[in-house]
């Protein structure tokens, strides 16, 4: 998918790349318990066991890291999990499709559509993704809530690396290649709802905006020293100003 050229690139004003997390930042699960139950069954179908998946904290982690922690107690290695990545992606998308037959599976977090609408024509920004979801599942989730079309730039996904800290560099390389301009880490802003979003931004040298739209409070997120912490992604004008000046 083509990325538009930005008018300010060659006069000292390179674009700012906004890398959005998905779960807890852009969307919230409407039927979280049902979804996790089906994930358990998926692991049993593919690997013969779901291991200790019920004990694993999903927040801010890549899908590969989640499944590694769940299954390593059964002697299943991350290499083996990665070798079945195609099966995992297909199964997760099938789960989402089946659940959607019975109603909404996800809902947008407050302010998301308005913010994406405002960012789309603004040539100061490129809007992309940095998520722990494997790529096909990320697309399916965002299509489910009709916002996939806002993300022309590919970003980075949980199918690209086991550790979230490795994703910003992958996203940066892809975006820089797509636009034909190498961008410094500080031109990237990661927007997420967990301490792991903050940590991966710091690991790379990006700016980070934490949003208390998931399971962490403003005070909890502030304790990890993001560049800014918000209660939600609205009012739109205030968030745009923050993203432009942070």
**For position 31, what pLDDT does the model report?**
74
Could you tell me which residues are beta bridge partners of residue 190?
19, 208
- Between 26-35, 126-135, 148-157, 219-228, the lowest mean confidence (pLDDT) is in 26-35
pLDDT tens sequence across 14-42: 999 999 999 999 999 887 778 788 889 99
Q: State yes or no: pLDDT of 9 exceeds 60.
A: no
Could you tell me which residues are beta bridge partners of residue 27?
23, 108
**Where in the chain do CATH 3.40.50.1000 domains reside?**
9-29+107-245
Q: Calculate the CA 90 to chain-centre distance.
A: 19
Q: State yes or no: pLDDT of 2 exceeds 50.
A: no
**For position 3, what pLDDT does the model report?**
44
Six-digit token pair at 104?
Answer: 């909404």
Range 156-181 average pLDDT: 96
pTM of the model: 0.91
Helices (H) and strands (E) in the chain, counts: 10, 7
Q: State yes or no: pLDDT of 77 exceeds 80.
A: yes
| Radius of gyration in angstroms for the set of CA atoms belonging to the chain, rounded to a whole number | 18
User: According to the CATH classification, is domain 9-29+107-245 in 3.40.50.10320?
Assistant: no
**Where in the chain do CATH 1.10.150 domains reside?**
32-100
When the candidates are 1.10.3430, 1.10.3470, 2.40.170, 1.10.150, the CATH number that belongs to 32-100 is 1.10.150
List, as one string, the DSSP characters of 40-98: HHHHHHHHS--TTGGG---TT--HHHHHHHHHGGGT--HHHHHHTHHHHHHHHHHHHHH
């Amino acid at each position: 998918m083509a990325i538009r050229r930005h008018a300010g690139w060659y006069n000292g004003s390179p674009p700012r790349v906004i890398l959005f997390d998905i779960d807890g930042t852009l969307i919230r699960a409407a039927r979280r318990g049902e979804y996790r139950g089906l994930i358990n069954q998926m692991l049993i179908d593919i690997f013969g066991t779901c291991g200790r998946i019920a004990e694993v904290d999903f927040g801010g982690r890549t899908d590969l890291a989640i499944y590694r922690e769940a299954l390593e107690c059964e002697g299943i290695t991350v290499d083996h999990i990665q070798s079945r990545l195609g099966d995992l992606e297909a199964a997760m998308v099938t789960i989402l499709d089946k659940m959607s037959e019975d109603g909404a599976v996800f809902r947008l977090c407050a302010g998301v559509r308005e913010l994406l609408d405002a960012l789309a024509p603004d040539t100061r920004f490129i809007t992309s993704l940095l998520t722990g979801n494997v790529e096909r599942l990320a697309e399916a989730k965002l299509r489910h809530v009709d916002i996939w079309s806002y993300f022309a730039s590919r970003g980075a996904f949980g199918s690209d690396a086991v550790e979230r800290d490795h994703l910003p560099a992958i996203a940066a390389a892809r975006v820089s290649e797509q636009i034909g301009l190498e961008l410094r880490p500080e031109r990237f802003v990661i927007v997420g709802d967990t301490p792991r979003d903050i940590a991966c931004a710091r690991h790379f040298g990006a700016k980070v905006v934490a949003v208390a739209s998931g399971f962490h409070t403003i005070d909890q997120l502030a304790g990890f020293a993001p560049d800014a912490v918000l209660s939600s992604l609205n009012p739109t004008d205030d968030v745009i100003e923050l993203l432009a000046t942070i």
